[in-house]
A and B are shown apart, each in its own frame.
Chain A
Amino acid sequence: MTVDVAVLGAGMHPWGKWGRSFVEYGTAAARAALVDAGVDWRDIGSIVGADTVRGGYPGYVAGATFAKALGWQGARVASVYAACASGAQAIAAARAQILAGLAEVVLVVGADAAPKGFFRPAGGDRPDDPDWLRFRLLGATNPAYFGLYARRRMAVHGDTAEDFAQVKVKNAAMGALNPYARYRKRVTAEEVAASAVVADPLRLLDICATSDGAAALVLSSVGFAHRHGVERPVRIRAVSTVTPRFPNAVLDLPDIATDSAVTVEPAGETFRASIASAAYEEAGIGPEDLSLAEVYDLSTALELQWYEDLGLCGEGEGAKLLREGVTAPGGRIPVNASGGLASFGEAVPAQAIAQVCELTWQLRGTAGDRQIAGARAGITANQGLFGHGSAVVAVR
C-alpha cells in the first residue's frame, strides 16, 4: 500500500459539441476545481496537463497551455499523452510529485475539442503506425472493434442485443441527472433497438459519441489538506497505469492481430483485468469493498466486459449482474452513476479525470439526485490505445 493523496477540488466544463477551443474548456474546469478546493491558482506548485492534439503537435503543449491561460505563475509543469488513459497518467504524475515531496498541491487538467464523426489517425502516409494501418488496410474504425467484442460476447456468453440496450437505458437514466453530461434524456430499450446499426451487432445508441469536454482536479498531500481545514478529504489510494503482458492474446484497438501465444502461455488474467487487479493490490481493497465504479463504456457491451474484469462477477456473468440490477442505482455496486460515456461522450484527455471527479462528488455525498447512498470507496477503469492501463481507487 502507498500513502494517500487528497482530492481537494474537482471541476468540469459541461460536455457536448460547443465549438470552442480545448484551452477554454480546460481553463473553465481548472478554475472550477480551484474554487472547489478553495486554493488560489498562485499557490499551485505544479500543473499537469493531459494532452490533446493542436496544430500538429500531439501533446507537448497541454500543461503549459493551461498554465498560460490561467496566468504564468512559475509552477512546475508536465504534460502526458497516453491516449484515453492520458487523464489517469496525469493524475499519476501529480500524485508521484506529491508523494515525492516535489509539490504539495497540484492542478490536473484534461480537455478536448473532438473532431466530428469517427476518430481517425493523423494525416499523411504513416505505414509504421498501427493506428494508421488499421484504417488504411481494413477500414477498421473504433466501433468496428466494439462490434467484434460485442459479437464475441454473444457467441461465448449468450449476451443479447437487449442486454446491451439495458446498459444504455441504465446509464442514460443517470446521465439525465448530471448537469455536466452531454445527453440528459432518458432512453428506452425500444429507442436503442430502433437506432441504426453502426457496426454489427451494435447500434448508434450502443456506442458513445465524440464530445468536447474538460475535467480538472486539485490534488494535495493529506497534510496540506488538514492544514487547509479539510479534516476528511476524499483520498486517492491507488492509480494503476500498467501495460499488457506478452502475449496480449485479446485483440486490442488499434491492432490488426494479437500477440501469438505459441511460445509463452498468456497470463491468467487479461490486460483489462490486470489494470483492475493492480489498482486493488495497491489500494489494499477488493471488489467487495466498493460502493461504486465508473467504467469506460465506449460501447454498452464493453461495460459488461468491465464488470467481469473488475471482479464484480465471474467471467460471462456481466449480463446477469446487469439484469439483477446489481449495477443500477440502489444495487450492490452501481456502475456509471455519472451517466458514463454513454451520456458524456468521449473527450479523450478529460475522461479519466472526469471519472475521478464523479468519485469525488459521490464520496463527499454531494452528487445530488444521482448520489449513491453511503458511498465509501470507488474505482475507475479505463484503457488507452497502444497499451495504456488506467484505474484509480478513491476512498473516504
Chain B
Amino acid sequence: MPRTRTPAVDGWFGGEGEAFRLLGTRCSSCASVFFPREDAHCRNPHCAGGPLEEVPLSRKGRIWSYTDSRYRPPSPYVSNPELPWEPRALIAVELAAERIVVLGQAAPGITVAELAVGMEVEAVPGVLHEDAETTWTIWHWRPTGVRV
C-alpha cells in the first residue's frame, strides 16, 4: 500500500510543484505578516488586532546565513539510528517582500560547500521522513536553477 503524504505540521505550506508556497497569516487591520502562522491574535503591539487571513509567502528569497548539523540531532527529530548520519544543511532565508527570515532544511544533496550568503533560493516541497504508513512532508530551500 502506498504511504499517505501528510504535512509534518498543519497549515504551514501547501500547493504542488511550481505552486508550492509557505503559508503565513496577515493581520487584516495592520497587514503584519506572521510565519509560522499566527491565528489567534495579531502580535504587533501597535495594532488593536483584526481577523488574520492566510497568505502565501514569496517563493524565492536570499540566504541570510546557513550551517549544518554534523552530529545527529536528538529527538524529537526523527532519523534512523541504524543508518550513518548524513549532515543536512540548514538555511535561513530572507524574503524581501515580507521582510522576514525563515529557517529550513536545504533540499537533499545540497551541502554547505555549495551555499553562500546572498545566494537566491526557492521553497520546494520535500520529505522530512517516512514511516510504515506515512510520508511526512516539509518545505526545503533549494538554490534556484538547481533541478532534481
Contacts and interface: CB of A to CB of B under 8 A. Distances in A.
Contact of B35 (A118, A196, A257): A257
Interface string B34-54: 111000000111100000000
B42 to A, nearest CB: 10
> How many residues of A sit at the interface, in one of the four size bands?
35 or more
Nearest to B72: A139
B30 A263 contact: yes
Contacts of A133: 9, 36
A198 B73 CA distance: 11
A257 B36 contact: yes
B103 A143 contact: no
B44 A144 contact: no
Interface in B60-111: 64-71, 73-79, 88, 90, 92, 97-105
Judged by DSSP, the binding face of B is loop
B69 A258 contact: no
Given A144-B67, A257-B101, A261-B99, A137 B90 contact: no
Interface in A102-137: 117-118, 120-121, 123, 125, 127, 130, 132-137
B103 A200 contact: no
A151 B117 contact: yes
Contacts, number: 152
Given A141-B74, A257-B100, A257-B101, A264 B46 contact: yes
B58 to A, nearest CB: 11
Contacts of A121: 76
Contact of B138 (A137, A197, A255): A137
A259 B33 CA distance: 8
A197 B70 contact: yes
Nearest to A127: B9
Interface string B108-134: 000010001110000000001000000
B6 interface: no
B89 to A, nearest CB: 8
A256 B77 contact: no
Interface string A230-260: 0000000000000000110101000111111
Q: Which of A130, A135, A201, A259: most chain B Cβ within 10 A?
A: A259
A148 B90 contact: yes
A155 interface: yes
Given A137-B128, A246-B45, A263 B73 contact: no
Contacts of B45: 246
B65 A149 contact: yes
B43 A246 contact: yes
A100 interface: no
A141 B43 contact: no
A68 interface: no
A1 interface: no
A156 B112 CA distance: 17
Given A120-B75, A246-B43, A199 B67 contact: yes
A256 B138 CA distance: 13
Interface string A201-234: 1100000000000000000000000000000000
29 contacts: A118-B71, A118-B74, A120-B76, A130-B36, A132-B76, A135-B76, A137-B8, A137-B138, A139-B73, A141-B71, A143-B69, A147-B67, A147-B68, A152-B65, A198-B69, A198-B71, A200-B68, A246-B44, A247-B32, A247-B44, A247-B99, A256-B35, A256-B36, A257-B102, A260-B24, A261-B99, A261-B100, A264-B32, A264-B46
Which 8 A-B pairs have CB atoms at the shortest separation, nearest pair first?
A147-B67, A155-B117, A139-B73, A152-B65, A261-B99, A139-B77, A120-B74, A260-B33
Given A148-B65, A246-B45, A247-B44, 11 more contacts: A118-B74, A121-B76, A136-B77, A138-B104, A139-B105, A141-B73, A200-B66, A200-B112, A201-B67, A264-B44, A264-B46
